[in-house]
Structure 1
Amino acid sequence: MFYLIMRFLFALLFIFISISASATQWLKLDDKTFLIAPPSDARYLTSNQAILVGQRCAAIIDAHGDFSALENFASEVKKRIPQPICHLFSTSSDEEQILGMMLLANEFPDATWHAPSHVSQHFNEYQSALKDKLSRFEKSLQLSQSRLEIQSNAKIQQRLNKAKARIEKWKSRQFSPPTLLNAAQVTLDLGVHSLVVEEIEGATQGNLSILSHHNLGLFAGLTANPIPYVQDSNLEAWLTTVKKLRHTEEVTWLLPAQGKPYKLKALQKPIFFLEAAINSDSMMIPKALQAIYKPDDLTQTRLRLMYELAKTKQVQKMQRQGTVL
């Protein structure tokens, strides 16, 4: 019984008090670009982030759903980056990424939050999702506190009290929708560091890309994932976007939501993946597609699962459209 209680409490504490935050990697690409990678054991669960720095101010790109880790991240930003944060960017309309950015927008209230237009149009739905998430946290905490009465542990009780305070803080905050871009493509200046922000079609129902003119890096989040994660995505539109990016002369490297930064030519991997998901008649992953990815078991397993998901989503879409039996 004691073992079961402790295992349950540990799982809860993992939710509220991020034990992985200390392993988050800050990588300085150059004097104006920081890449923030999740710990290796969470690299497919949370998103890469980036900070772009100018002489006048700085910008944060993307968030994720680990609220405790995000609070630690915000504290680190305030310690490491002397310039004020003037812009926040969400590269997708993925629910967990948007909920995380809502939290960061409160941590940096003077920053302008930019997100795909879909987010502003459906902001009430994101607010409801946040309320539901905090409600689940609260119920888990209440259950933990009731179980803790069976086995008294002052140290764990102290942590649960901190978790309760965090939940109350998150519940008390007011959240405002992001600012809409005033054009399909805009240029923002951080001070001798200009960014081109564009609304694009891609992995989710709304997406942004951010191009740094300082180092020609493109920050495109889920849309640039080497192994595409297909949700309710328009695969044809997504494929058109990455094909266009593949032949641009303005980009030399990309940062995806999951995985390491990569050179522009490596966009051929998601292009091949999406082409197969759209055009192949079989649910089986093509061997030619498997061959262009790393042969290790983890990569190949993820590739197979993501391909099967993509094919399933594509078949469901065609069935809704009445194009297959």
Structure 2
Amino acid sequence: MLFLAPLSHAAVSWETINANIQFLKQEDKLRFYDSNQVLIEGKKCALLVDASGNFAGVERLVNDLKKRLKTPLCYLVATHYHDDHLLGMAVMQHFYPDAKLIVHQRVNDNFSVYQKAFTNQLDNYEKSIELSYQRLANIAKEDQPQWREKLELAKKRLFRWREYQLNAPQIAINKSKTLDLGGFELTLNAHAAHTNGDLTISTNGGSVLIGGDAVDWLPYPGHGELKSWQALLKQYINDSKLSLIIPGHGGTLNRAQLKQPLLFLTAITEHVKNNKGQTVEKLVLSFPESVMKPYTEETLNKKSSDLFLQAGLIRAKNTK
């Protein structure tokens, strides 16, 4: 049943970073398929970083926020344009229409593309429901009622989601911007790293960094600005004030742990540079095993790192 998979995700776990920051961590088995979120709350305002591409999950988050928030939700921040960080903002905007969406200037410039992506995702959900109905006849008769009930629920959700819209951002950031949530300040910074339009957030006097996918331990380089990304990671590694890093996927990190993604990205660019003319297949086979070793110790890491490596090599080959 194709459509039901994205509806069955477990809820995120809430982890307290400090009095102002809550880390909404995606469950481990989904860490490469869906994103973390971060809730920051001051005395006057709250800000949410990223929204899952699983709309049912975002609706659960809305219910949690209604119980937890002590102040208005004033801002929504998409760290970049990928579906699992941006598209769920349509759900948040429906329930919090006064919250201002903040994105990188490059994301803002191309926002009609992502609005179309939101519509396309709903269209794909609808096609998936139709296919699942067609396949009901192949399921044992005693199991059909429960699957039919699930599909009816899926139809109701899709009908509801059709009312949502991904509305244009109100704030676009080209360099940096500081916000005061009421006795608690944070600074949003624009980068070209994981994509050409990343936002990171620095708080607590520079000791806490909310870095999105730019600081993932296993980084996806398929859309990356690889050279500037490496420079950014080096900057963070050498920042003595920085003590806690919240990535877009996986658990919290420290500065030393960023050496692994830096090694991975650097090895990709160097491997392509030193083996010009080789096919991607040959580059994969000759890629240094020592770089990949930390990613082979867990099945999901291994599976994802193989895909990410290939995507990174293609990106490096196509980058002038």
TM over 0.5: yes
User: Mapping of 1:104-119 within 5 angstroms?
Assistant: 104-119=92-107
Q: Deviations over 1:34-66 (max 9, x none)?
A: 111112221221111111111112111112211
Q: Alignment partner for residue 39 of structure 2, among 44, 47, 51?
A: 51
The one-letter amino acid paired with 1:286 is: P
Q: Decide which moves more: 163-172 or 67-76.
A: 163-172
Distance 2:252 2:244 in 1: 7
Distance 1:163 1:249 in 2: 49
- SS across alignment from 2:17: strand
Q: Which runs of 5+ in 2 are unaligned?
A: 276-282
Give the fraction of aligned pairs with identical amino acids, expressed as a percent. 24
Q: Alignment partner for residue 272 of structure 1, among 228, 250, 263?
A: 263
Q: Alignment partner for residue 171 of structure 2, among 176, 180, 195?
A: 180
The one-letter amino acid paired with 1:234 is: E
Question: What residue is the counterpart of 2:192 in the other structure?
Answer: 201
| Contact kept in structure 2, 1:226 and 1:269, CA below 8 Å | yes
User: How many residue pairs get matched?
Assistant: 305
Question: What residue is the counterpart of 1:63 in the other structure?
Answer: 51
- SS across alignment from 1:106: helix
- SS across alignment from 1:172: coil
Alignment CA distance shift 1:289-1:157 (3 Å): closer
Question: What residue is the counterpart of 1:5 in the other structure?
Answer: none
Q: Which runs of 5+ in 1 are unaligned?
A: 1-7
Alignment CA distance shift 1:165-1:211 (3 Å): same
Alignment CA distance shift 1:183-1:215 (3 Å): closer
Cα shift at 1:254: 1.0
User: Mapping of 1:1-325 within 5 angstroms?
Assistant: 8=1, 11-15=2-6, 18-22=7-11, 24-148=12-136, 151=141, 153-181=144-172, 184-213=175-204, 216-280=207-271, 281=274, 283=283, 284-290=286-292, 293=294, 296-298=297-299, 299-317=301-319, 321=320
Distance 1:294 1:133 in 2: 31
Q: Decide which moves more: 217-226 or 24-33.
A: 24-33
List structure 1 segments (4+ residues) > 4 angstroms apart after TM superposition. 146-155
- SS across alignment from 2:88: helix
The one-letter amino acid paired with 2:180 is: D
Q: Deviations over 1:113-158 (max 9, x none)?
A: 1111222111111121111111111122233334447858554434
Alignment RMSD (CA, Å): 2.3
Distance 2:220 2:265 in 1: 10
| Contact kept in structure 2, 1:285 and 1:308, CA below 8 Å | no
TM-score, normalization: structure 2? Answer: 0.86
Distance 2:89 2:166 in 1: 10
Cα shift at 1:182: 5.8
Alignment CA distance shift 1:309-1:143 (3 Å): closer
- SS across alignment from 1:36: strand
